[in-house]
Amino acid sequence: MEGWEKVIVSDKSFTQTVHGKMGCVTCHGGNGKVDDKEQAHTYIIREPVAEDVCFQCHVDMTNETNSLHSSLRGYTTVLQDRTSAETLAHIEEEAFGNHCSSCHTSCGQCHVSRPTSLGGGLTAGHKFKKVPPMNLTCTGCHGSRVDMEYKGKNEGIPADLHWNKIGMPCFNCHTADEMHGNLDYEANHRYDGSASKSCLDCHNDVIEGSEIAQHQQHISEFSCQVCHAAEYKNCYSCHTQKNDEDIPYFKIEPSIMDIKIGYNPIQSEERPWKWVVLRHVPVDPDTFAYYGDNLLPNFDNRPTWTYATPHTIQRNTARTESCDSCHGNTDLFLTEDDLLPYEIKANKDVVVDKSDIPYNQ
């Protein structure tokens, strides 16, 4: 997108919309009484603050601080577990701002423009979109993993059934309340509380009247993804750095498309299953080594193989072909043989004891 394309209010009909009739100054400040560009842009606010502008009208959306897109508490939650108070403060002093905080988004960065982390740019000539364009916002940020999995862009792995058959958009499962933080609990991680949509909300025939014996046998102990997810992306060893020009960047090891079944690390009333699929996340003890020594002293407090809900759902997978696809198939389960030396202790609660792997039928 060219620079001028990002900012030009190209559709004159915008001035006839509710937001257009409010005038530029209402949200962006500046001086609307002069013709000189420099004077007009005095004290202009490029990114209006929701509390000062949006929430004045949208009073039902005032819980934005509970939105993980706004608060970034998903990051701080895992960092708090792996750091000490001293090293967390050290990371937040510079590294967090250089590498993590750019993922923050705001009302405008979904409903008016692309997120700043993608370079910004109006999505529809400044018109406010009640439902943001999925390809420019959701998968613009969640692209390398979610978009490629969901739309079948990884070689040899088909698109998720929900996309392939009906083109289901993100918002069918990830509701506005979830995005806006209008929840009955404090969100510190994306798997806190109950899922905004469960597979069984649509596929309730799996519980009652299913003719598939495996549903009746396994539904209480297996998450749906254990049988119905295709391979998904697993990432390794993110290292944050700055180049010779003091520009922050990061690099990771090549990702691996795989599927691993393990013990549920967040077993709860909302997610009661013993067996779930696990995804490797790109962290290691030296992720922040550029900024100091041993900044993740409690690295082992969280697994590097984490609870996952891959966007690769299929009706039929290699695991649904027969009982023997899983029973006795040691390679399908996460065992200590799959771990790198530095992560053995961190994954002690999710690694499957080989004696617990279902026997061959």
- Per residue in 139-183, pLDDT tens? 888 888 999 999 999 999 999 999 999 999 999 999 888 888 888
Q: Which of 79-83, 150-154, 199-203, 307-311 has the lowest mean pLDDT?
A: 199-203
Q: Residue 94 — pLDDT band, cuts 50, 70, 90?
A: very high
Which H, E and C letters describe the chain, residue by residue?
Answer: CCHHHHHCCCCHHHHHCHHHHCCHHHHHECCCCCCCHHHHCCCECCCCCCCCCHHHHCHHHCCHHHCHHHHCHHHHHHHHHHCCHHHHHHHHHCHHHHHCHHHCCCCHHHHCECCHHHCCCECCCCCCCCCCCCCCCHHHHCHHHHHHHHCCCCCCCCCCHHHHHHCCCHHHCCCHHHHHCCCCCCCCCCCCCCCCCCHHHHCHHHCCCCCCHHHHHHCCCECHHHHHECCEEEEEEEEEEECCCCCEEEEEEEEEEECEEEECCCCCCCCCCCEEEEEECCCCCCCCHHHCCCCCCCHHHCCCEEECCCCCECCCCHHHCCHHHCCCCHHHECCHHHCCHHHCCCCCCCCCCHHHCCCCC
Structure tokens at 226: 């254990």
pLDDT at 262 over 80: yes
Q: Average pLDDT in the 279-302 region?
A: 97
pLDDT at 11 over 80: no
Q: Which of 162-176, 200-214, 253-267 has the lowest mean pLDDT?
A: 200-214
What mean pLDDT is reported for the chain?
A: 92
Res 361: pLDDT: 56
Res 208: pLDDT: 72
Domain boundaries, the chain: 198-361
Q: Are 123 and 114 a contacting pair, CB within 8 Å?
A: yes
